[in-house]
Chains A and B, each alone.
Chain A
Amino acid sequence: MEEYSQKVKDHYTNPRNTGVIENPSGEGTVGNPVCGDIMTIYIDVDEDETLKEVKFSTFGCGAAIATSSMITEMATGMNIDDAYKITRNDVAEELDGLPPIKLHCSNLAADALQAAIEDYKRKKEDK
């Protein structure tokens, strides 16, 4: 098994911003527990559409936890449109890389954040 980078190890050992935001501005869930990973990203957006708080809960491997943790750090304080542009590759690079097999299967955090931002925009339109 290919070794994880020190940054990945740090993030799965001490994940940042874990937990649930009660009454979030938006939330996005991606993955499938049948396949071994599922993650939910919760966002709290302020009036000028900045991500005030980003939290996550994840069922998955070390890479799934590390990418979830990393994206919460990357996205916090960003404008939602900029945060929406964060790609899977951006997250992997920020973690100093992921083993190839994990790059594809467990790198879902960017998708979950995008789903949360879409959820926020939908809710906003419905108001």
Chain B
Amino acid sequence: MYMDNSATSPVDQRVLDEMIPYFNQNFGNASTLYTLGVEAKKAVDKARQQVADLINADVDEITFTSGGSESDNMVIKGVALKEIQKATEDNPRNHIITSSVEHPAVMESCKFLEKFGFEVTYLPVDEDGLISLDDLEKSIKDSTILISIMHSNNEIGTIQPTKEIGQIAREHNIIFHSDAVQSAGKIPVDVKEQNIDVLSLSAHKINGPKGVGAIYIKKGIRFEVLIHGGGQEKGLRSGTENVAGIVGLGKAAEIAKDELDQRMKHNQEIRDALIEKVTAEIKDSYVNGSLDKRLPNNVHFRFSGIEGESLILRLDNKGINGATGSACSTHDLKGSHVLAAIGIKPALSHGSLRLSIGPENSIEDVDYIVESLKEVVAYLRNLSPLWDNNTDTYIGDKFEKEVDEEDLDRY
């Protein structure tokens, strides 16, 4: 029972069927002039239109990349390199605003730029994971060159107010980028209506292949190119086009657009049933993130007194695949930066579980998942020194201590 569609998703058979000929029959290089190459180029252009249609962009505003991470790196570093050239004594053109809950592709790109003298504001979020528009407005300076706020969060599924963020960015003439890897194909994403200048998306989150994604760049937005070479993708992203992958992304985007309403309804029904049953039937279980501004396919729990990796392993033994923000999965002493940002203390964030729903899941799966969770959580609590089995309560607070040298040395 695969419930980790926010990590990756199985390739839809219709997508695979569309891709197969481009591996060994229509295998041409899209840059060549003979028929085989022209056919490949036509396939790439068709996919460009399919991706543009998914997010209400114009076809020439779509550039293909290797995925969401590359798209994020491309815009953040590209804008930084472009704008720093315009720096003056009065205006260093070096300030970026992002949020404290971004995907590592955005977060690490920003940290990388800090090493070169760029200044980054990481906006805090409330307990639901939402930024404050007031905070955003206040953090804007003359030197601000980019606002990069994700469309929805990859861990807790919180959907940010992109339309309003984009409005503020426009008023200040600042580029607004949004990482929509978890949103595109899952909820309506309309770059025009939501005032988005640059947007990242990925194929493998929407039942397409891995290793292919796209970046939407609004007409008129310019930034430095990172990958130089043969000048493919209008010079924005050199490298022989991954034709089969691009065809797969195009088809996945087309299917996601056509089936959006029914998928949202299907996902939300399963999501709501899981939230309702788990929180009712498992003591000390909580939902992380917003209940209403939430991706329809995202469920994110935390269970006091247990650790996420052992939870995932035991669920795996029952045939259920999920994800955790535990330190053991992130190799980060403090665990999930997203859960920390919404105010969940580390000892509790280690007990988190993300279940992300896809088309292959069904409402009939819910009871089995809930029963399995009840059993596994009870077992691990029985094993845990942080849970008092006599009183059936969490007693972890008394074990918490400051992280010392010895702890740090272990990681």
Contacts and interface: CB of A to CB of B under 8 A. Distances in A.
Contacts of A65: 310, 383
B410 A59 contact: no
Chain A contact patch, size range: 20 to 34
A34 B400 contact: yes
A36 B400 contact: no
Contact of B310 (A18, A34, A60, A105): A60
Nearest to B327: A36
A59 B307 contact: yes
Interface centre among B326, B329, B346, B383 (most CB of A within 10 A): B383
Contacts of B350: 33, 36
A52 to B, nearest CB: 22
A35 B411 contact: yes
Interface of chain B, main secondary structure: loop
Interface string B287-311: 0000000000000000001110110
Interface centre among B306, B310, B333 (most CB of A within 10 A): B310
Contacts of B331: 101
Contact of A33 (B309, B313, B400): B400
A57 interface: yes
B347 A34 contact: yes
Interface in B209-241: none
A106 B313 CA distance: 15
A97 B385 CA distance: 26
B104 to A, nearest CB: 16
Contact of A32 (B306, B314, B329, B403): B403
Interface string A69-89: 000000000000000000000
B106 to A, nearest CB: 23
Interface centre among A13, A18, A37, A101 (most CB of B within 10 A): A37
A40 B335 CA distance: 22
A29 B313 CA distance: 24
B326 A34 contact: no
B317 A61 contact: no
A15 interface: yes
A58 to B, nearest CB: 6
Chain B contact patch, size range: 35 or more
B161 interface: no
A105 to B, nearest CB: 5
A18 B384 CA distance: 10
B386 interface: yes
Contact of B309 (A29, A32, A62): A62
A18 B382 CA distance: 9
A20 to B, nearest CB: 8
Contacts of A36: 307, 326-328, 335, 346, 350
Nearest to B328: A61
A21 B400 CA distance: 23
A122 interface: no
Given A12-B310, A65-B310, A57 B385 contact: yes
Interface in A45-69: 57-62, 64-65
Given A34-B401, A104-B411, A59 B386 contact: yes
A110 interface: no
B14 to A, nearest CB: 31
A118 to B, nearest CB: 16
Nearest to A65: B310
A105 B401 contact: no
B396 interface: yes
Contact of B384 (A1, A29, A58, A105): A58
Interface string B137-164: 0000000000000000000000000000
Contacts of B326: 36, 61
B89 interface: no
A89 to B, nearest CB: 15
B116 interface: no
A60 B346 contact: no
Given A35-B327, A36-B326, A104-B411, A15 B400 contact: no
B364 interface: no
B410 A35 contact: yes
Given A15-B383, A34-B402, A59-B396, 10 more contacts: A12-B313, A13-B313, A32-B401, A35-B403, A36-B335, A37-B328, A57-B384, A58-B383, A59-B307, A59-B384
15 contacts: A13-B317, A18-B383, A34-B346, A34-B407, A35-B410, A36-B335, A39-B385, A57-B384, A59-B385, A60-B307, A61-B309, A61-B310, A61-B328, A65-B310, A104-B411
Interface of A: 1, 12-13, 15, 18-19, 29, 32-40, 57-62, 64-65, 101, 104-106
The 10 residue pairs across chains A and B that have the minimum distance between CB atoms: A61-B309, A61-B328, A36-B327, A33-B347, A59-B384, A57-B385, A105-B410, A36-B350, A34-B346, A62-B313
